[in-house]
Amino acid sequence: MSSAADICLYSRDGAYLPRVAAVHDLCGYGKCSLGVAIPVLSAAGIDVCPVPTSLFSANTALPGFYQYDTTPMLEPYLDAWRVHGVRLDGIYSGFLGSAEQVDAILRLYREYPSALRIVDPVMGDGGHTYPTYTDEMCEATRGLVNGSDVLTPNLTEAAILAGVPYGGQDVDEQYVRRVTGALLSMGARTVVLKGVVRAGESVIRNYVACGDSLEEVRAELLPFMIHGTGDLFASALTAAIYAGRSLLEAVRFAGDFVRDAMAVTRLQPDYERRGVSFESVLGDVTALI
């Protein structure tokens, strides 16, 4: 059985720029989602094609945010892509605005069967779903597990998808194997489980599961939280994959990149609300290619 160190999901072909549909929301303030995915993937030489699932005035960590649900526009939006002859090398999905938007992603899977499927099931954190997510949306998101090439849940999302109790952030390897094994049995090709933090330690553990193989990747744990780091991790991971890195290398790069961006964010005014500030370390992404 191949280990994560052996799994290379994409090989760059000379000067060709891979084209990836980024199916995420867009926030006006509080850097996350498409505000992260577009620049990070672009820095890795990826032609990013946004598919906006919602428009937000600010991220959902800020009270009183405004949301505009884009569900009604997605079918004609994708119809136009077909007319234009758009070709895709990948489909990278994240935060959704409604349960019906899962159908739009499944449509992309049908129309682009050779594209890589990278699924960041952005539903919640810390044992709770985000305020816009309903039980219906969580159930619909389960439909993206089967056939995903890379599934990147945090512990909350993994528990929801796998139908197992949330065990907190301090879980042992037995729990990790249980939840990742359940997701693999649901049809995920590989699972990157994010955010295991054990009491008294200054590291964050991310796990890569494939078949019977489970590998741990550690990154430095900084003593503060920033909104949008999950989006940044998944985007940096996707960038490294399309730069031809192995899955294990991509996970390691993503963890280190998030740490470096968080360190920069901590130096900014209003850092707890502004989202993750990655702009000054984007050179690390460009260096992948």
pLDDT at 238: 98
Asked if the model's pLDDT at residue 1 lies above 60, the reply is: no
> Helix crossing, 173-185 with 155-162: angle to 10°?
50
Q: Tell the burial category of 264 from Cβ atoms under 10 Å away from its Cβ (0-12, 13-18, 19+).
A: middle
pLDDT at 236: 98
Show the 3-state SS of 241-257: HHCCCCHHHHHHHHHHH
Asked if the model's pLDDT at residue 4 lies above 70, the reply is: no
Asked if the model's pLDDT at residue 26 lies above 60, the reply is: yes
Q: For the residues 255-280, what does the mean pLDDT come to? A: 95
Asked if the model's pLDDT at residue 119 lies above 80, the reply is: yes
Question: Which residues share a beta bridge with 56?
Answer: 27, 67
pLDDT at 61: 81
Confidence of residue 23 (pLDDT cuts 50, 70, 90): very high
Domains in the chain (CATH in brackets) are: 19-283 (3.40.1190.20)
Q: For the residues 78-102, what does the mean pLDDT come to? A: 97
Asked if the model's pLDDT at residue 182 lies above 90, the reply is: yes
Residue matched to tokens 């498409």: 34
- Model pTM score: 0.96
Q: Cβ(167)–Cβ(175) under 8 Å?
A: yes
SS3 state of residue 229: helix
Distance CA 2, CA 15 (A): 29
pLDDT above 70 covers what percent of the chain?
99
- List pLDDT tens digits, range 54-71: 999 998 888 899 999 999
pLDDT at 147: 97
Strands 124-125 and 128-129: antiparallel
Query: Who contacts 247 (Cβ-Cβ below 8 Å, separation ≥6)?
Result: 4, 5, 7, 8, 9, 150, 190, 192, 208, 210, 241
pLDDT at 59: 87
